[in-house]
Amino acid sequence: MLTRFVTRYTLPSYTGRAALAAFAVAGLVLAGCRKEEITVYRVPKEMPGREASPASAASAGARPHVHWDKLPDGWRELASTGTRAATFSIAGTDGKQAEVAAIGFPGMGGSDLQFVNLWRDQLGLAPLTDAQLPALVQPVVVAGVDGKLFDITGATKGAGEASTNRIIVALHKAEGTSWFIKLTGDPALVEQQKPAFISFLKGLSLHMEAHGSSERPAAAAPAPPVAAVGGKPAWTAPAHWKAVAPGAMQTAKYKIGEGRTAADVTVVFLGGMGGGLKPNLDRWRNQLSLPAAADGEVEQQAPLFPELGPGARRVQLSGSTGEGDAADMIVLIVPAGGGTWFYKLMGDKVVVAKEKDALVAFVKSAQP
């Protein structure tokens, strides 16, 4: 009997806060700046040989592999992008849509509560406490062993209209790799597909496999970002920027002004490119009630900004907040080591215009 076998490109090992942050963006996945290579094979169901150990996989470079015997009815395999090992679309009635994605991160840390609060943040929900977490968790079998299933429903906003979405994520940890298999989309369709999804999880085979000698060399482990005491650069912020407690996955946060004539500056470090340029751009546009950018608009809306170094970019957007107030946003994207710093200034249009030069100076002030 034949089974599907999907190979993805080499992923670096992520640990700690940067790893968790890396996972958060872009539809919950990361993509590096490398060109993606997608290869689909058909191989015997009985896989000969042994799986690579975490140590040997890490030393030779490793790829996440997903195997399945049969897709549920109505599921259609798509070409995967970013760090996804596999992607499937599900079309329901009346235009309802859902999607399944499988992602494998070698060496990724993070607690269940941190992951759940990241997903809740994407759905506009408040974070949970440890005491509240058990209500969202149910046991599930993933790849033949015990795993966990997290079920979250919330409202997202795009193009000025609120829409409710539901996320169901199965978590499976094995041999130094964290696997996330996610079903997301219209709540009714997700509910309808949940039994098929749970059944699909049972028959999966998930593992990391080292490169063969004919493969290209493994990517070097990401270098840590420029950092000072506390794991962040020693920035010099303007005196009128008020430092406040950073949110989930934020390295720093500042408040400028008060009330409706205010703006926020947030700083986030993510591994790789934090999900890719277009997913990030679409996420920022969504925050200003703007529709997703067309593929041909990405480079225009996120042009290179050499003032901050090779590969740096600047995004400038105008739109409105969820409350309908006019708002602007400037995001400075700065590659560093094995990841990327994202500096975002968002709020009242007048304040953003006044502070844009200060934002650039703030980025330039970063010292190790």
Fill in the DSSP letter of residue 304: B
CA distance 203 to 200: 6
Q: How confident is the model over 75-91, as pLDDT tens digits? A: 998 876 656 788 889 99
Long-range contacts of 89-93, Cβ-Cβ distance < 8 Å, separation of 24 or more: 90/185, 90/189, 90/193, 92/186, 92/188, 92/189, 92/192
CATH topology of domain 2-210: Jelly Rolls (2.60.120)
Whether the domain at 2-210 and the domain at 242-364 fall into the same CATH topology: no
Of 271, 229, 257, nearest to 352 by C-alpha is 257
For 242-364, the fitting CATH number among 3.40.50.970, 3.40.640.10, 3.40.1000.10, 1.10.3720.10 is 3.40.1000.10
Residue type, 44: P
Surface-to-core class of residue 267, CB atoms within 10 Å of its CB (0-12 exposed, 13-18 middle, 19+ buried)? buried
CA distance 172 to 219: 25
The number of residues making up the chain comes to 368
Q: At what angle do helices 277-287 and 16-28 cross, to 10 degrees?
A: 70
CA distance 193 to 72: 9
Residue 63 has what pLDDT? Answer: 63
Q: Is 204 left (phi over 0), alpha (psi -120 to 50) or beta?
A: beta
Tokens at residue 288, please? 């200003």
Q: How confident is the model over 93-141, as pLDDT tens digits? A: 888 899 998 887 765 556 788 878 887 777 778 888 888 888 888 999 9
Domain ranges of the chain: 2-210, 242-364
Residue 368 has what pLDDT? Answer: 55
204 phi and psi, to 5 degrees? Answer: -75, 155
Residue 231 has what pLDDT? Answer: 54
**CB-based contact 255:244 (threshold 8 Å):** yes
* 33 half-sphere exposure, CB direction, 13 A CA radius: 15
CA distance 273 to 11: 12
Residue 342 has what pLDDT? Answer: 92
Residue 327 has what pLDDT? Answer: 94
Q: Are strands 62-68 and 84-91 parallel, antiparallel or unpaired?
A: unpaired
Q: What is the pTM of this model?
A: 0.47
Q: Which residues of the chain have pLDDT under 70?
A: 1-64, 80-83, 106-110, 154-163, 207-232, 248, 271-275, 337-338, 367-368
